[in-house]
Amino acid sequence: MHIRVLAVGDRQPAWVDDAAENYGARLPREWKFRIECLPTARRAKGSSAQIAVESEGEQLLARIKSNEQVVLLDETGSQYSSQILATRLSEWQQDGRDLCFIIGGPDGVSDGCRQRADAVWSLSSLTLPHGLARVLLLEQLYRAWSLQQGHPYHRE
Model pLDDT for residues 18-30, shown as the tens digit of each residue: 999 999 999 999 9
Within-domain flag for 155: no
Within-domain flag for 100: yes
Note the pLDDT of residue 65.
94
Within-domain flag for 119: yes
Q: Where are the beta strands (DSSP E) in the chain?
A: 3-8, 34-38, 69-78, 99-103, 119-121
Within-domain flag for 38: yes
Model pLDDT for residues 41-99, shown as the tens digit of each residue: 887 777 778 888 899 999 999 999 999 999 999 988 999 999 999 999 999 999 989 99
Note the pLDDT of residue 33.
95
CATH number at residue 127: 3.40.1280.10
- The parent domain of residue 137 ranges over 3-149
Note the pLDDT of residue 152.
78
Within-domain flag for 124: yes
Task: Identify the H or E element spanning 129.
Answer: none
Residue 89, judged by CB atoms within 10 A of its CB (0-12, 13-18, 19+), counts as: buried
Strands 34-38 and 99-103: unpaired
Number of domains in the chain: 1
CB 139 within 8 A of CB 81: no
Residues 6+ apart with CB under 8 A from 56: 8, 38, 40, 41, 104, 105, 109, 110
Calpha distance 149→137 (Å, rounded): 18
Within-domain flag for 156: no
